Each structure stands twice: as structure tokens, then as C-alpha cells.
Amino acid sequence: MSIDFETDAEPDGPSSSDLAAIEAEWPQIEADLDALNAEIRALYLTDHGGPSELDWRRTRRSEAALTRTAVRPVRPTSGLRPAA
């Protein structure tokens, strides 16, 4: 994902530094979303015949990706303001 920092943002919208921080953390956010989707699918399938081997594989793969991104250092982007 690439964010264009040169566009004019609305005054109440995120700043360039906010967008840079989101982009730096995007792999972790994406892994969290994938893990959540796998859990939702497994819960849904529990009531509808149970998860298949492919569903379990998706769950394991999303958990592995979540672990990999959690231990990956996020490189700070210059110009970020400190967290409040």
C-alpha cells in the first residue's frame, strides 16, 4: 500500500505524519485483520458443519503472519510526532 502524502488533506483529516505512521504499521494491521477474519469464519462454520482443513490452514497461516509482524521492528518514519 502506498499513500500519497502530497495531496491536500482536509483540515480535520489525518496529517502527513499520521498517514506515515499508519503506513509503517500497516503490515501489523493487515495481519490483525486476517486473523480476525479467520476467527470469524471458524466461528461461523462451527454452526454450519465445522471448519474444513483449508479453514484450519487459513487460521494457522494468519496466526503465523500475526506473530511474524508482531516481532518485526517498525522503522520509525522521520517527522512523526510523539504519541499522546
Give me the pLDDT at residue 22, please. 86
- Say if 5 falls within a structural domain: no
If one counts the domains in the chain, the total is: 1
Please say whether the dihedral angle defined by the alpha carbons of residues 26, 27, 30 and 32, taken in this order, is positive or negative: negative
- Say if 9 falls within a structural domain: no
Encode the chain (84 residues) as per-residue pLDDT tens digits.
555 555 555 568 888 888 888 888 888 899 999 889 988 888 888 888 888 888 889 889 988 988 888 887 766 555 556 655
Report pTM.
0.59
- Say if 40 falls within a structural domain: yes
Give me the pLDDT at residue 80, please. 57
- Let me know: does 6 contact 20? Beta carbons within 8 Å: no
DSSP state, residue 4: -
- Say if 55 falls within a structural domain: yes
Domain hosting 33: range is 16-71
Give me the pLDDT at residue 33, please. 92
Per-residue cell: 33: 485483520
Give me the pLDDT at residue 73, please. 73
- Say if 8 falls within a structural domain: no
- Say if 77 falls within a structural domain: no
Residue 67 identity: T
HEC secondary structure over 24-62: HHHHHHHHHHHHHHHHHHHHHHHCCCCCCHHHHHHHHHH
